[in-house]
Amino acid sequence: MSDVWIISGTDTGVGKTVVAAGIAATAGARGYRVAVIKPAESGIPPDAGIESDIEAVIRLAGPAAARSLVSYPDALAPLAAAEEAGVVPLAIGDVIEAVRVTAGNYDLVLVEGAGGLLVPMGEGGWTVAQLAVALRCPVVVVCRADLGTLNHTALSLEALEHRAVSASVVVGSWPDEPELVHWRNLTDLPGQLDGVVPAGAGALEPELFRSRAPGWFTARLYGRADPGRLRLDGVPGPPPPWPVDAFPPPWPGEA
């Protein structure tokens, strides 16, 4: 029986594609035959010379198979992009069938969504959350490290819990020089933290990306990172001193 994971996020631009590539590379290093499906991608005009998400996954991870089902030129939610392009929106049944057929031929299928869990994806306004319920598969929630991430991550996890869908949390872009807010967010993030991907990972050379990726994820996502260290010292950069360390002494002459 193949594993199927949906890669979603708290927002657009949080690093879903790089995380999908990282998991694909990590599982591939363990001998899994990995397929990646992007149901719908928008913001890719024909002949614009823009690398699509699937092309980025292929470049970075080299999975056994990877494809987009539909692509739209306007950078909008997929349903809106389909309407603006004057084409029939993607049906959720077509996505389910594509995943079912692919899962019969590969060990792991990664399905990368668009935007967040409740973005209208296609015909009838179906969402990635509904797709997860239909596929009965877990979801990777990719989040930011910055201020605001606690609320966004908690809302995404609550939406999945309401639908009885299990989830893993992955930080999609951990800064090279983390500040107090980043460390504090890492400590306080809700849910099961199963990965921290460094900023700029998508710009690495493919060979380097594939060699480093297993260290970004825990065993649940096919990697080797220690879950107990991810929130402590298992990520780049030293934690900053507490602000009190920088305060002047309260009284003149007091050391």
Which of the following is catalytic: 38, 144, 152, 210?
A: 38
Instruction: Collapse the DSSP code of 255 into the 3-class scheme (helix H, G, I; strand E, B; otherwise coil) and give the result.
Output: coil
**Across-strand partners of 34?**
108
Look up tokens 């990590």; give the residue.
26
Q: What secondary structure does DSSP assign to 202-217, as a single string?
A: GGS-HHHHHHHGGGGB
Are 141 and 157 in contact by the 8 Å Cβ rule? The answer is yes
Helix boundaries (H) for the chain: 16-29, 53-61, 78-85, 92-103, 128-135, 149-162, 180-188, 206-212, 227-230
Q: Tokens in use for 208?
A: 């380097």
Taking only Cα atoms into account, the Rg of the chain, rounded to an integer number of angstroms, comes to: 19
> 48-71: buried (b, 16+ CB within 10 Å) or exposed (e) per residue?
eeeeebbebbbebbbbeebebebb
Look up tokens 């009885």; give the residue.
164
The yes-or-no answer on residue 16 being catalytic is no
Q: How far apart are CA 4 and CA 34, in angstroms?
A: 10
Catalytic machinery residues: 38
